Structure 1
Amino acid sequence: MADQPEEMPAAPAIRLGPPHPYLKTHGGKVARLHRLDWAVLLLIAAADVGLNLVEPFHRFVGEDMLADLRYPLKSNTVPVWAVPVYAVIGPIVVFVGLYLKRRNVYDMHHAILGLLFSVLITGVLTDAIKDGVGRPRPNFFWRCFPDGVPKYDNITRGVLCDGVASVIKEGHKSFPSGHSSWSFAGLGFLSWYLAGKVKAFDRRGHVAKLCVVLLPLLLAAMVAVSRVDDYWHHWQDVFAGGILGLVVASFCYLQFFPPPSGEQGFWPHAYSEHILNPEREGQAQSTASSNHHRRLSSRGHVAVEMSTATASQEASSLGPMEEMEEGRGAR
């Protein structure tokens, strides 16, 4: 019986592109690369705690100035503990939810890091300005004189407060509004993030995408309005706080993510670097050249080139929802 020719072993499959960045495979690397950022974040948090312990500047309040400071001392419509819930935990839930769907640890890590930088930098700026300005709140009279009987210095006619020291201390922290700045810092960052994920500025005229982007900002604006309604802040306080939070959120987002209007606006900058410089796992995988093409090798010198023109043609056949599912804008 003639010998049958031996079957040649099947060639191993060639994996196109870099390894996908899961939490288990890339989480440790991403965290190590940004350990200094996390250390700086802790220092900023400690600085914010220290600023809250500092006694603010007690701006002079005279007898003739109390007319605009006699508003009722009401409780907060939005309590202080609720601010980090909707401005920090809420957006993080969104980031984690997208990770569970798309499994991109770069996106989740950078979104969380950028959000925390946004709210903590805003917190430090807000509290520093509060301590330096010392503007009285609209309800300062009732903080200063709980019994409603005012007392003044015989010479300067400045107020002589007899209320609780901690309540009076808070009464000198009107400008800017912390609720407003934190709300716009956290929810403003979320708004930027959603704009990138739904490709809100792709020039296709889908107004529904703008509704998704503006919803977090609307919530932040309603919180700011509540601070005026509760007589805890003047309108200038919430306006300045909102601008401050939104500006910081914008800088922090653009530090980690491309502009939402760009072709690469879906994933963070670090993911694009991961695509252009894939890690070596198992067999050799070479990186792309400056024209952004990817070349891979396995056993032989097998080269695979994926041009940006082909990617654009394939993506043009996808609908808007499919584009988001395919992660348009990521190389």
Structure 2
Amino acid sequence: MLLLLGIIATHNALQRQPHCITPEELISDYKKPRRDSIIPPWVMISIIILVPVIILSLPYLLLRNSVETAQAFLAWTLAILINALITEVLKVLISRPRPDFFYRCYPNGVIGICAGRGKDIVDGRKSFPSGHSSFSFCSLGFISLWLYGRFLRRRAHILLLCAMPVCLACFIGYSRCCDNHHHWEDVAAGAVIGLASAYQCCMAYCSRGRLIL
């Protein structure tokens, strides 16, 4: 967890030399109105932490299976760390402006001297990939894979429940396009990164014989 916090803190402190944005691009691609987040960061963080912690604790709470619980938590936290590293590095390297970057730089709506807050402008150049999307699909995608492994021999309608965490991740990602914080490509890339991280760690966990009952 300390490593994860360190990665995020480093991401917030770093800014790559921004690439030039032409006036045409600024108007056509980055002039969507600023809106509050439909799902604030603290809500997203609560979801991607509390849901997995509760579900992954069930083997211990119900069956007193401390080994499986510990192995599952290790695989989940590893997936989160891998996802965080990839996401935060790409954000800094690519430095893509957010859809509402125009109003971050020119709050009054008139092109001139960039008069926005420094923090808003720096954050406004970290659109790709979407952190909300990558972390949601990584954490909740891991839970879907974990549940699928446990219910693999059960009825199909139970398996539909396994897809619910991913559906929640889809909603979180979709909300980032609706509130003009990300382009759809950012959300799609975040989903791919998150699911890939979750899949690799979950399959490594599965290969140890800990997943399928």
Q: Would you call these one fold, judging by a TM-score over 0.5?
A: yes
Q: Distance in 1 between matches of 2:104 and 2:151?
A: 47
Which of these residues, 118, 129, 133, is aligned with residue 165 of structure 1? 118
What is the aligned partner in structure 1 of residue 9 from structure 2?
A: 49
Q: Percent identity?
A: 33
CA shift for structure 1 position 74 = 0.3
CA shift for structure 1 position 221 = 0.5
Given that 1:57 and 1:133 are in contact with CA atoms closer than 8 Å, whether structure 2 keeps it comes out as no
Task: Summarize the Cα distance change of 1:117–1:57 in structure 2 as closer, same or farther, 3 Å threshold.
Answer: farther
Given that 1:88 and 1:116 are in contact with CA atoms closer than 8 Å, whether structure 2 keeps it comes out as no
Q: Distance in 2 between matches of 1:116 and 1:146?
A: 39
1:246 aligns with 2:195: yes
Query: Structure 1: which amino acid aligns with 2:84?
Result: G
What is the aligned partner in structure 1 of residue 30 from structure 2?
A: 69
What is the aligned partner in structure 2 of residue 85 from structure 1?
A: 46
What is the aligned partner in structure 1 of residue 186 from structure 2?
A: 237
* Between 232-241 and 56-65, the greater mean CA deviation after superposition: 56-65
CA shift for structure 1 position 246 = 0.2
Gaps of 5+ in 2: none
Query: Structure 1: which amino acid aligns with 2:7?
Result: A
SS of structure 2 residue aligned to 1:72: coil
Query: Structure 1: which amino acid aligns with 2:119?
Result: S
Query: Structure 1: which amino acid aligns with 2:131?
Result: G
Residue-by-residue CA offset, 1:19-51 (whole Å, 9 max, x unaligned): xxxxxxxxxxxxxxxxxxxxxx64454233212
Q: TM-score, normalised by structure 2?
A: 0.93
SS of structure 1 residue aligned to 2:36: coil
Q: Distance in 1 between matches of 2:201 and 2:79?
A: 6
Which of these residues, 170, 173, 178, is aligned with residue 221 of structure 1? 170
Q: Distance in 2 between matches of 1:148 and 1:214?
A: 43
1:125 aligns with 2:86: yes
What is the aligned partner in structure 1 of residue 70 from structure 2?
A: 109
**What is the RMSD computed on CA atoms of the aligned residues?**
1.8
Number of residue pairs matched by the alignment: 212
What is the aligned partner in structure 1 of residue 130 from structure 2?
A: 177
Tell which has more relative contact order, 1 or 2 (C-alpha 8 A, sep 6+): 2
CA shift for structure 1 position 257 = 2.2
Given that 1:57 and 1:131 are in contact with CA atoms closer than 8 Å, whether structure 2 keeps it comes out as no
* Between 60-69 and 245-254, the greater mean CA deviation after superposition: 60-69
What is the aligned partner in structure 1 of residue 60 from structure 2?
A: 99
CA shift for structure 1 position 178 = 0.3
Q: Which has the larger radius of gyration?
A: 1
Q: Distance in 1 between matches of 2:12 and 2:71?
A: 28
CA shift for structure 1 position 213 = 1.5
Q: Please list every run of at least 4 consecutive aligned residues from structure 1 whose deviation after the TM superposition is greater than 3 angstroms.
A: 41-45
What is the aligned partner in structure 1 of residue 20 from structure 2?
A: 60
* Higher helix proportion: 2
Given that 2:96 and 2:126 are in contact with CA atoms closer than 8 Å, whether structure 1 keeps it comes out as yes
Query: Structure 2: which amino acid aligns with 1:175?
Result: F
Given that 2:144 and 2:162 are in contact with CA atoms closer than 8 Å, whether structure 1 keeps it comes out as yes
Residue-by-residue CA offset, 1:292-325 (whole Å, 9 max, x unaligned): xxxxxxxxxxxxxxxxxxxxxxxxxxxxxxxxxx
